[in-house]
Structure 1
Amino acid sequence: MSRVDLHDTTGCPLGVRCESCGREAADLTVGTADTPLGVLCLTLCSRCAVPNIAPPIAVGTAVRLAAQHCQHLGITLDEMAAIRAGER
């Protein structure tokens, strides 16, 4: 497998509201968060987008978002785990 940038958001869709506060806003962006459960992509407003800090989200939501991000990157959760292990 070629090198995959786990923080690439090129294939990640922009949501209609912030996944942290739920606010619909014009300043939404897609970003990534590196969590113990994996790297996940999420749509955040400028108020909630704090660099290197994942917003408070439920564990089940984090698992779902990490799995979806893997789909956006074209890899599996196991491949994500292997990439993360190689970075440490």
Structure 2
Amino acid sequence: MRARYEELNLDSAARCPLGHRCESCGTADGPLAVRTATTPLGVLCLTLCPPCAATGGPPPITVGTAARLVGQHAEHLGVDLDEMADAMEPR
């Protein structure tokens, strides 16, 4: 089963929904895009505007929000949190 995790791309945002506003600054103006970020809790996805995406990391969020976003991203990828954790382990 290990091979499945090696093929899992945690940074894929292909199945992640685009929000109506930037989850960092709140703007709804301009082009928005779904980006992923790796946190100590796992990989999460969020909608960001270009200036916020350029910062290179997730916006300041609470641990509870990060946990919720990690869980949602796992659902978008079709895996559970244990599978995500397995895929994040160094090879």
TM over 0.5: yes
User: 1:7 — aligned with what?
Assistant: 11
CA RMSD in angstroms comes to 1.4
Residue 57 of structure 2 aligns with an amino acid whose one-letter code is I
User: 1:43 — aligned with what?
Assistant: 47
Distance 2:11 2:55 in 1: 13
Query: Which TM-score applies when normalising by structure 2?
Result: 0.88
Distance 2:54 2:63 in 1: 19
Residue 48 of structure 1 aligns with an amino acid whose one-letter code is C
Residue 21 of structure 1 aligns with an amino acid whose one-letter code is C
Local SS of the residue matching 1:34: strand
Runs of 4+ in 1 over 4 A off after TM superposition: none
Which one is further off, 46-55 or 7-16? Answer: 46-55
Equivalent pairs, count: 87
Distance 1:41 1:9 in 2: 7
User: 1:54 — aligned with what?
Assistant: 58
| 1:77 corresponds to 2:81 | yes
User: 1:32 — aligned with what?
Assistant: 36
Query: Which TM-score applies when normalising by structure 1?
Result: 0.90
Query: Greater helix share, 1 or 2?
Result: 2
Distance 1:13 1:52 in 2: 20
Distance apart, 1:51 and its partner CA: 5.5
